[in-house]
C-alpha cells in the first residue's frame, strides 16, 4: 500500500478534516502521537485530558486508518506519521497546497495532561508569546503568522471566546456587527453548552486566505486573530497574505513542515504502536 492512499481515507472522513488538521497544533510534545493515547494503567492522566485540549475530536478516525494500514503493512507506519499525513492531505483536499513532508516519525510511550496544561497556549495568548512559541519550533515571523492561517478551517467553541466578549478589561478590536453575532451565539459569560460553536471564517470548509481578509475587517474569532492584524511585527504580513493567496500557501507550507518536524522521535526512540490509543505491551 502506498502512503499517499491516506488521501483516499481523508476523503472518506472529509467531514472531519478540520479535526485532523488541528491535531499537530495541539500536540505540545511534538508530532509523536502522544495526544492519541487513552488513559490506562500505564498512562493514568493522558494529554487529551487537558482542558486546553477541549475541542479535539475524531481521534477514532486515525485509529481506523491505522487498522487498515496494519492489515496491509504491519508495524511499518507510526501513528505520528499518520497524524502528519492526515493533516497534510486534509489541507490539500480542502483546497490548500500539496505539501511534501518528511516521514519516519515514531510514537511516544508517554503522555501527561499536567504537562499539556502547562505548555499548551491559552486562548488569551499574546502576539509576542505566540511568536516566541513558534520561533522555538524554528519558524520565522512570517511563518508564525502563516501557521495561524489554519484557522481558515473549522469552528471555535464559546468556551474559547466568551472571555473576550464579556471581560470589560479586554480590548476586543472587533467589528460591531460581528461582535453582535458572537454575543447571540454565546450569550452568557459561562457557556450554556460546550457544543455551541462559531465558524472560524466565512469559508470554514475551504483552505484559503479568507481568514486574513476577515481579521483585517475586525472579524477575528479569537483574540490572537485580532491581535496579529494590529501588531507592529505582524500587521503587514497579514495584509500580504490577504492580497496574495499563493504567497500565503508558500509560507504556510514551509511553516507546516517545521511544525510537523518539531521534537519528533526517530531511530531507536519511541515505538511504532500497534493501536494508536495504546502503547505496545512488551
Numbered residues of the known binding site for heme b: 151
Cell, residue 209: 486566505
Give ∠ CA 111-113-117 in degrees, rounded to 5.
130
Is beta strand 155-157 parallel, antiparallel or unpaired with respect to 197-199? antiparallel
Residue written as cell 493514568?
44
Strand-pair partners of 271: 107
Q: Which residues of 94-115 are buried (b: 16+ CB within 10 A; e: fewer)?
A: bebbebebeeebbbbbebbbeb
Q: How far apart are the first and last CA of the chain?
A: 27
At a CB cut-off of 8 Å and minimum separation 6, what does 151 contact? 200, 201, 211, 221, 222, 225
- Residues making up the annotated binding site for substrate are 121
Cell, residue 159: 468556551
- Residues making up the annotated binding site are 30, 32, 34, 47, 121, 151-152, 203, 208
Q: Which residues of 2-41 are buried (b: 16+ CB within 10 A; e: fewer)?
A: eeeebbebbeebeebbbbbbbbbbbbbbbbbbbbbbeeee
- Residues making up the annotated binding site for Ca(2+) are 30, 32, 34, 47, 152, 203, 208
Q: At 133, give phi and psi (nearest 5°).
A: -60, -50
CA Rg value for the chain: 19
Q: Distance between CA 38 and CA 40 in Å, rounded?
A: 6
Closest C-alpha to 113, from 60, 159, 44, 57: 44
Amino acid at each position: 500500500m502506498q502512503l499517499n492512499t491516506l488521501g483516499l481515507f481523508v476523503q472518506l472522513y472529509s467531514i472531519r478534516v478540520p479535526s485532523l488538521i488541528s491535531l499537530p497544533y495541539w500536540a505540545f510534545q511534538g508530532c509523536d502521537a502522544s495526544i492519541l493515547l487513552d488513559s490506562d494503567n500505564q498512562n493514568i492522566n493522558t494529554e487529551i485530558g487537558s482542558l486546553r485540549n477541549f475541542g479535539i475530536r475524531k481521534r477514532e478516525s486515525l485509529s481506523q486508518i491505522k487498522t487498515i494500514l496494519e492489515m496491509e503493512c504491519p508495524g511499518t507506519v507510526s501513528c505520528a506519521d499518520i497524524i502528519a499525513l492526515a493533516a497534510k492531505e486534509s489541507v490539500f483536499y480542502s483546497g490548500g497546497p500539496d505539501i511534501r513532508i518528511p516521514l519516519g516519525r515514531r510514537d511516544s510511550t508517554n503522555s501527561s495532561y499536567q504537562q499539556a496544561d502547562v505548555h499548551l497556549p491559552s486562548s488569551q495568548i499574546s502576539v509576542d508569546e505566540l511568536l516566541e512559541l513558534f520561533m522555538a519550533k524554528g519558524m520565522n515571523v512570517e511563518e508564525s503568522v502563516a501557521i495561524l492561517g489554519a484557522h481558515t478551517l473549522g469552528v471555535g467553541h464559546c468556551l474559547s471566546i466568551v472571555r473576550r466578549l464579556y471581560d470589560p478589561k479586554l480590548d476586543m478590536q472587533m467589528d460591531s456587527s460581528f461582535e453582535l453575532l458572537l454575543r447571540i451565539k454565546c450569550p452568557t459569560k459561562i457557556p450554556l453548552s460546550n457544543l455551541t460553536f462559531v465558524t472560524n471564517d466565512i469559508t470554514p470548509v475551504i483552505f484559503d486566505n479568507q481568514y486574513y481578509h476577515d481579521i483585517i475587517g475586525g472579524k477575528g474569532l479569537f483574540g490572537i486573530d485580532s491581535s496579529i492584524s494590529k501588531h507592529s511585527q505582524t500587521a503587514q504580513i497579514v495584509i500580504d497574505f490577504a492580497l496574495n493567496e499563493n504567497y500565503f500557501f508558500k509560507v504556510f507550507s514551509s511553516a507546516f513542515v517545521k511544525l510537523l518536524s518539531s521534537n519528533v522521535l526517530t531511530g531507536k526512540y519511541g515505538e511504532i504502536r500497534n493501536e494508536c490509543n495504546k502503547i505496545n505491551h512488551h
